């Protein structure tokens, strides 16, 4: 069939994509899905393609055709049976925390209460479901508990515990994990990026294809990430006193940034730390060869430093906990300083010691 998509254009996530395609083919879909995975890993992309397959009038193999009226209207963003919600700021203040409000959910509920006009189903995607406020989450719960037949609701979030358990338990949960570096390199090469560039960008992206593409388009963003990695290296070499001095300077800088909140700035710093910290963990575990290579001098010798493995794994746990806490209005400075206390200290290449 003309234009039929034999493959979904998704980088990585083959098991999840295969599962969803099969469920479209067998017409065995759940009423609600929860896609969980790091930011820019591909959750919204997978959800978008799943929606395309569900809405297409003649997609027979778990794909879509790009030819039918349903596909056309979806591509134009005017499909009457397809609704996408993203978090928004309640005020014009650019540092206000974006949320999904009760009003947004009520409007969606009204749309979901109508019969589908064009497609066999009504499909809704709620991106950033971790930012549903309490009232919105409660309202959404009712919709998910008593869904209209033929309605498919997809939620995406960075970590499952950002979404109330009652809501989680009503959704089919699908976890998206880091995409192998080789696949990201392959995807970047297809876009015309040189091999050495692709290798470097894939390393920085830490398994997140969306971030890799963002680095290709935005060299400033990429430079900022490289600077973050240098800061990370620097911090691991310093003792507490100096770390806190650097933290104070960083907060002054973050406070002066009126394009985003301090919590948001800190979250993007911690995302870089996740990748860099995971590299340190792998290196300590004698697996330097599978590092993302966020820095030059990775220890190639396969020696295992159990103390360092323990320290880095505890540290990564705390980075994740801090990122979750930042979405729940904790004091960013306090959270950051606590994290600095738990950051393993590096005396010289390959040797960690307590800070
Ligand atoms: Zn179609």
> Domain boundaries in the chain?
14-175, 180-217, 220-353
Distance (angstroms) between ligand 1 centre and the Cα of 76 equals 13
Quote the pLDDT of residue 355. Answer: 52
Q: Decide if pLDDT at 117 tops 70.
A: yes
Quote the pLDDT of residue 339. Answer: 95
β-sheet bridge partners, residue 182 = none
What is the mean predicted confidence (pLDDT) over 13-21? Answer: 96
More confident residue, 100 or 92: 100
β-sheet bridge partners, residue 123 = 82, 152
pLDDT digits 0-9 by tens, 324-351 = 888 877 999 999 999 999 999 986 554 5
Distance (angstroms) between ligand 1 centre and the Cα of 111 equals 22
| Rg of the chain over all Cα atoms, to the nearest angstrom | 22
The answer to whether residues 81 and 108 touch, using CB atoms and an 8 Å cutoff, is no
Q: Decide if pLDDT at 86 tops 60.
A: yes
Distance (angstroms) between ligand 1 centre and the Cα of 74 equals 9
Quote the pLDDT of residue 7. Answer: 84
Distance (angstroms) between ligand 1 centre and the Cα of 157 equals 28
Within 10 A of 217 (CB to CB), how many other CB atoms are there?
9
Distance (angstroms) between ligand 1 centre and the Cα of 118 equals 11
pLDDT tier at 260 (50, 70, 90 boundaries)? confident
Quote the pLDDT of residue 141. Answer: 95
Q: Decide if pLDDT at 295 tops 80.
A: no
- Domain 14-175: CATH superfamily is P-loop containing nucleotide triphosphate hydrolases (3.40.50.300)
Summary mean pLDDT of the chain = 90
pLDDT digits 0-9 by tens, 33-46 = 999 998 899 999 99
d(CA 272, CA 276): 6
Distance (angstroms) between ligand 1 centre and the Cα of 2 equals 10
Q: Decide if pLDDT at 55 tops 90.
A: yes
Distance (angstroms) between ligand 1 centre and the Cα of 225 equals 39
SS3 58: coil
pLDDT digits 0-9 by tens, 237-250 = 999 899 999 999 99
What is the mean predicted confidence (pLDDT) over 129-139? Answer: 94
Q: Decide if pLDDT at 302 tops 90.
A: no
């Amino acid at each position: 069939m003309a234009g039929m998509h034999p493959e979904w254009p998704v980088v990585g996530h083959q098991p999840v994509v295969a599962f969803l395609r099969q469920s479209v083919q067998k017409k065995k879909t759940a009423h609600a899905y929860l896609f969980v995975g790091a930011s820019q890993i591909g959750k919204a992309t997978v959800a978008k393609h799943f929606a395309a397959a569900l809405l297409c009038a003649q997609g027979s193999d778990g794909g879509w055709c790009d030819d039918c009226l349903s596909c056309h209207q979806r591509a134009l963003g005017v499909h009457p049976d397809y609704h996408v919600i993203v978090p928004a700021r309640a005020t014009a203040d650019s540092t206000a925390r974006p949320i999904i409000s009760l009003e947004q959910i009520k409007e969606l509920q009204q749309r979901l209460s109508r019969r589908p006009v064009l497609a066999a189903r009504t499909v809704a995607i709620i991106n950033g479901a971790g930012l549903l406020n309490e009232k919105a989450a409660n309202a959404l719960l009712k919709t998910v508990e008593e869904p209209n037949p033929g309605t498919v609701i997809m939620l995406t979030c960075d970590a499952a515990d950002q979404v109330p358990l009652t809501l989680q338990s009503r959704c089919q949960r699908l976890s998206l994990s880091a995409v192998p570096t080789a696949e990201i390199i392959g995807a970047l090469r297809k876009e015309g990026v040189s091999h050495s560039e692709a290798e470097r960008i894939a390393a920085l992206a830490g398994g997140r294809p969306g971030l890799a593409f963002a680095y290709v388009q935005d060299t400033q963003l990429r430079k900022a990430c490289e600077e973050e990695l240098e800061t990370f290296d620097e911090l691991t070499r310093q003792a507490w006193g100096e770390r806190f001095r650097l933290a104070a300077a960083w907060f002054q800088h973050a406070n002066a940034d009126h394009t985003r909140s301090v919590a948001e700035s800190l979250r993007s710093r911690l995302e870089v730390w996740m990748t860099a910290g995971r590299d340190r963990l792998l290196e300590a575990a004698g697996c330097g060869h599978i590092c993302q290579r966020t820095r030059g001098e990775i220890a190639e010798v396969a020696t295992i430093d159990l103390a360092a493995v323990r320290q880095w794994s505890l540290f990564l746990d705390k980075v994740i906990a801090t990122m979750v806490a930042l979405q729940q209005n904790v004091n960013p400075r306090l959270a950051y300083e606590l994290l600095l206390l738990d950051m393993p200290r590096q005396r010289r290449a390959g040797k960690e010691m307590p800070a």
